[in-house]
């Protein structure tokens, strides 16, 4: 579906973004593993997390929709052998985390996904999970899905992560719940710590010493309700939309402000953004609060590569902000962006070119010369929800056409409606 966005003179209002995708995946998985019944409040109900609900149902959990929420009846650590292939759709988090869970189970299961997910690197989880004792086969010797997993009999390992990836860390921690002896993971740089926080919420074993995270075999644990905060990654689109659109002020409420997710705020502040935020509550272990963004004249910056793991999903929307900034923005440390839902370095460069923005791309960097966005450009999402939304925002002030706009529903089904409401069209 193609979507024509007319030039937007102003954005005004307050928005509560949908639930956090990462926390929803983890809430569904741990609720499914727990013993007894619980409610996952305000989860994200979108393509990726509905795939997780379906996979956990196939593994024996009872998951039903209860209004906005999910009611979950867990299996008490013993998952059922699935009767069919498990389809992870577009969700890398689902495939990698559930590979960890299945490694701990005496079952046989096959994981597959859509064309994008079947191209994404799985060796980063299959290699350490095999070291723990799981038997895993897959295309290219376990580098690519479909993956076939027969788990059980795991032993803990000490593993230094070769990449800063919360998905790999989480896969090993989940497998570690079923392993003899301790499982230790060392991160090269801090990444989102939702798994550690959710483990604490359920009283599961978890110790953090700097970059080292340790867990061990778990006893059956009691189900417990969990409330999901608003997704900072979804809020990010509206933050930047308000900054680059004249005469705008947008307030986001109930947003997760976990410091391992908010690197974008640091960079936007450095760019001169009129931005404020406050943590107002701690919700089941996650800091939550509000963010307010007003129209700003941004300036280009050199981004600290250390911040990239703390804003790994926000690079497309940062590129959109850079397109409107005076001067040049240089973003290094982007090697992981090449293996996301699309090759995001290439997809960002192509969409900036489509919008008339001078850009250079290297193997792991982007250089963007701001201040030259043309009206009436074309956004090509490359089957990637965040590329669709980021460049729709980039084109918003002058008008833009978005191809395959339905991709937004992978993580943010109400995105287009929310945008129209803040633009005063609804």
Q: Which residues are catalytic?
A: 313
Q: What is the DSSP letter of 33?
A: H
Which window, 149-157, 163-171, 178-186, 343-351, contacts ligand S3P (CB under 6 A)?
163-171
CA-to-CA distance for 52 and 120, rounded, in angstroms? 18
Contact pick of 166, 325, 355, 392 for ligand S3P (by CB under 6 A) = 166
Q: How far apart are CA 271 and CA 240, in angstroms?
A: 12
* 167 labeled binding residue: yes
User: What is the rounded CA–CA span in Å between residue 151 and residue 129?
Assistant: 9
For residue 22, say whether it is annotated as part of any ligand binding site.
yes
Residues 13-32, one symbol each (x = binds ligand S3P by CB under 6 A, - = not), give ---------x----------
Strand locations in 226-321 (E) = 226-227, 249-256, 274-283, 286-294
Q: Which of 125, 128, 130, 98 is nearest to 112 (CA)?
A: 98
Q: Identify each DSSP E strand in 98-240 by its residue range.
A: 108-112, 135-138, 144-150, 158-160, 183-186, 207-209, 212-215, 226-227
386 is an annotated ligand-binding site residue: yes
Residue among 49, 51, 105, 167 that touches ligand S3P (CB under 6 A): 167
Nearer to ligand S3P, 76 or 305 (CB): 305
> Which listed residue (184, 336, 380, 418) binds ligand S3P by CB under 6 A?
336
For ligand S3P, the binding residues in 177-196 under the rule CB under 6 A are 192
Neighbour-count burial for 30-63, b at 16+ CB within 10 Å, e otherwise: bbbbbbeebbbbbbbbbbbbbbbbbbbbbbbbeb
What would the x/- binding string for ligand S3P be over residues 57 to 96, using CB under 6 A? Answer: ------------------------------------x---
Backbone φ and ψ for 282, nearest 5 degrees, come out as -105, 120
200 labelled binding-site residue: no
The whole-angstrom separation of Cα 410 and Cα 310 is 21
Tell me, by CB under 6 A, how many residues bind ligand S3P. 10
- Kindly list the distances between the CA atom of residue 329 and the CA atoms of 35, 167, 289, 366, 371, in Å, as whole numbers in the listed order: 50, 28, 29, 8, 11
Q: How far is the CB of 170 from ligand S3P (least distance, A)?
A: 6
Distances (CA, A) of 404 to 76, 118, 151, 283: 41, 20, 39, 35
The answer to the question of residue 105 lying near ligand S3P (CB under 6 A) is no
Q: Is residue 338 marked as binding? A: no
Task: Give the nearest distance from C-beta 399 to ligand S3P in angstroms.
Answer: 29
Nearest to 5 by CA among 408, 379, 318: 379
DSSP 373: P
Among 312, 318, 348, 405, binds ligand S3P (CB under 6 A): 312
Output 86 or 373, the one with its CB closest to ligand S3P.
86
Q: Evaluate whether 19 touches 229 at the Cβ level (below 8 Å).
A: yes
Which segment (53-61, 111-119, 161-169, 272-280) binds ligand S3P by CB under 6 A?
161-169
Selected range binding ligand S3P among 165-173, 214-222, 280-288, 348-356, rule: CB under 6 A: 165-173
List residues forming the annotated binding site for phosphoenolpyruvate.
21, 92, 120, 167, 344, 386
Binding site for ligand S3P (CB under 6 A): 22, 93, 165-167, 170, 192, 312-313, 336
List residues forming the annotated binding site.
21-22, 26, 92, 120, 165, 167, 313, 340, 344, 386
List residues forming the annotated binding site for 3-phosphoshikimate.
21-22, 26, 165, 167, 313, 340
């Amino acid at each position: 579906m193609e979507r024509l966005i007319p030039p937007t003179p102003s954005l005004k209002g307050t928005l509560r973004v949908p639930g956090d995708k990462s926390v929803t995946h983890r809430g569904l998985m741990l609720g499914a593993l727990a013993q007894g019944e619980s409610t996952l409040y305000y989860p994200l109900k979108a393509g990726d997390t509905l795939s997780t609900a379906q996979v956990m149902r196939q593994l024996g959990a009872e998951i039903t929709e209860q209004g906005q929420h999910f009611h979950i009846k867990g299996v008490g650590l013993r998952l059922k052998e699935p009767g069919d292939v498990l389809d992870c759709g577009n969700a890398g988090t689902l495939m990698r985390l559930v590979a960890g869970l299945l490694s701990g189970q005496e079952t046989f299961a096959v994981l597959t996904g859509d064309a994008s997910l079947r191209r994404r690197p799985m060796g980063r989880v299959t290699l350490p999970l095999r070291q723990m004792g799981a038997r895993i086969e897959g295309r290219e010797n376990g580098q690519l899905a479909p993956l076939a997993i027969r788990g059980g009999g795991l032993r803990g390992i000490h593993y230094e992560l070769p990449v800063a990836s919360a998905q790999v860390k989480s896969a090993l921690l989940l497998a570690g719940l079923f392993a003899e002896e301790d499982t230790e993971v060392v991160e090269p740089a801090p990444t989102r710590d939702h798994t550690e926080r959710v483990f604490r919420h359920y009283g599961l074993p978890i110790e953090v010493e700097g970059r080292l995270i340790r867990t061990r075999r778990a006893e059956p644990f009691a189900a417990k309700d969990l409330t999901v905060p608003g997704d900072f990654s979804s809020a990010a689109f509206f933050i930047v939309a308000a900054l680059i659109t004249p005469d705008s002020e947008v307030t986001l409420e109930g947003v997760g402000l976990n410091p391992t997710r908010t690197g974008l705020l640091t960079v936007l502040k450095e760019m001169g953004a009129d931005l404020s935020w406050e943590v107002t509550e701690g919700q089941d272990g996650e800091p939550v609060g509000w963010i307010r963004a007003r129209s700003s004249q941004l300036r280009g910056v050199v981004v600290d590569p250390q911040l990239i793991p703390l804003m790994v999903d926000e690079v497309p929307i940062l590129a959109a902000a850079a397109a409107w900034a005076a001067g040049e923005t240089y973003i290094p440390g982007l090697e992981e962006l090449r293996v996301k839902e699309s090759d995001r370095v290439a997809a960002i460069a192509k969409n900036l070119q489509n919008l008339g923005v001078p850009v250079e791309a290297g193997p792991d960097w982007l250089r963007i010369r701001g201040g030259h966005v043309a009206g009436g450009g074309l956004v090509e999402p490359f089957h990637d929800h965040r590329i669709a939304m980021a460049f729709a925002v980039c084109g918003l002030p002058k008008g833009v056409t978005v191809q395959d706009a339905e991709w937004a529903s992978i993580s943010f089904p109400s995105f287009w409606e929310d945008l129209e409401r803040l633009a005063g069209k609804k």
